[in-house]
Structure formats: C-alpha cells, structure tokens
Amino acid sequence: MSDHLSKQFDLELENIRTRILQMGGLVERQVLAAVDAFSTGNLEEMQQVIDTDSEVDAYEVGIDEDCTLLIARRQPTARDLRLIMAISRVVTDLERIGDKASKIANMSRKLRLAGSQRIPRLSDVHHSGRLATDMLQGALDSLARMDAEAARQVIGSDKAIDAAFNAILRQLITYMMEDPRTITEALDIIWIAKAIERVGDHAANIAENVIYVVSGIDVRHTAAVRKKADEA
C-alpha cells in the first residue's frame, strides 16, 4: 500500500473509531436516563430514551456499511483487519445495549401508567444500573485507548452486576410470596433488572473485543480471561 493510500486508510479508520465512540456515548447516556426514569417515574425522560433508539440504530447501519466498504476497498491485514472486525462486533453490542435501555424505559412507562406501586422502587435497581453504565464507560475507554488491562478489569466487574441482579430477584420473590397482588408489578421490575444485567454482559463483550484487537487472541466464551480479570 502506497503512502497516500495508507494515509487515506488511516483517516477512514480513525473516522470509524470516532463514530463508534460517539455511538457509545449516546448509548451510555440512554442507559443512564432509562435507569433514572425508572427511579423517578419521569414519563418525558422515558419517552426520550425510547425515541433515541432510532438514532442508535442509524449509527449501527452507517458504521457497519463503512466497515464493509473499508475492507472491500483497502483489504486490510493483521491488526487493522482485527480492529475493523472488532468494531463491527462492538457496534452490534452497542445497538443491543440501546435496545435494553429502550426496554427499561418501556417497562418503566408501563409501571408508571398502571398507577399501582405496591412495591417501592428498589434502590438496588438504580445501583445495578450505575454499575452497568460504569462498566460500559470503562469498556468504551479501553476501546478508545486500546488498553487490554483496563478491558480485563471491565470483564471482572461483571460479577458485581450479576450479584446485584440476584439480590433484586430475592427481594422481589419475597414480595410476591407475601402478597400475590404484587406479582405483575414484581415481574415487570425483574424484566427491568434483567435488562440492566444484560447491559453489563454486552459491556464485557466490548472489553473482550479490545483484548482481541490488542493481542490477537479471541477470548470470547473462555473462562481464562474471566479468571484473570477476577484476580486483577
């Protein structure tokens, strides 16, 4: 590849990286707003989260198309190819996180409009949401800096969100057992908590892709990286 083509490739690749970080920032704000709206019952904020989903989808389509064209035109190899492949996977995870945020907002809206609040809005749900957004922020930061060690720390944080979800589940089961009238409301809150837990899973996926780009090792679905992260 000539110097001119190499510089052009670098510019195009940097543009894609910039846009995926912009997409990540948008999704991060979407999740934060969804969790806050659940706690406050703010219908306007819930609707804004739902409306933002189309903007996230547009990012996904545009970045995916740019990645495909860049591979076709420039035929990258080694780390550059790994980066483009990883970006394509990260885009999918970010889009799914956006879907989860929209789901949280929709379920919160359903609860708010139902009017019944037999179950107090659990602070653990808000805490879990903060853990998930912290994970997402860490994953995006590791992506921006291509920092494999930071990515491993993000993966290790996933256990805290899993523990928070299990605690929420236990509380809600107790409510349902003590008062069957809370079952419908409790199940809706469980769906919200599960969506938050899945945000953490997708953030861990993003971190795994950072490790892939930096090291060339695909650590998805392997216990080794999780164990190493836990020990860090």
pLDDT digit string, tens, across residues 204-219: 999 999 999 998 877 8
Give the pLDDT mean for 32-55: 94
Which position has the higher pLDDT, 140 or 7? 140
pLDDT at 116 over 60: yes
> Residue 24 is part of which domain span?
3-231
Q: Pick the residue with more confidence: 124 or 55?
A: 55
Instruction: Give the global pTM.
Output: 0.89
What is the per-residue pLDDT across 121-151, written as a single tens digit (0 to 9) for each?
678 898 999 999 999 999 999 999 999 999 9
State how many domains the chain has.
1
Token pair listed for 209: 């892709």
Give the residue with greater pLDDT, 220 vs 227.
220
Question: Domain holding 86: CATH number?
Answer: 1.20.58.220
Q: What pLDDT is attached to residue 117?
A: 72
HSE-up (13 A, CA, CB side) for residue 78:
0
CB 159 within 8 A of CB 171: no
- In sequence order, what DSSP letters do the residues of 100-156 get, joined into one string? HHHHHHHHHHHHHHH----S---HHHHHHHHHHHHHHHHHHHHHHHT-HHHHHHHHH
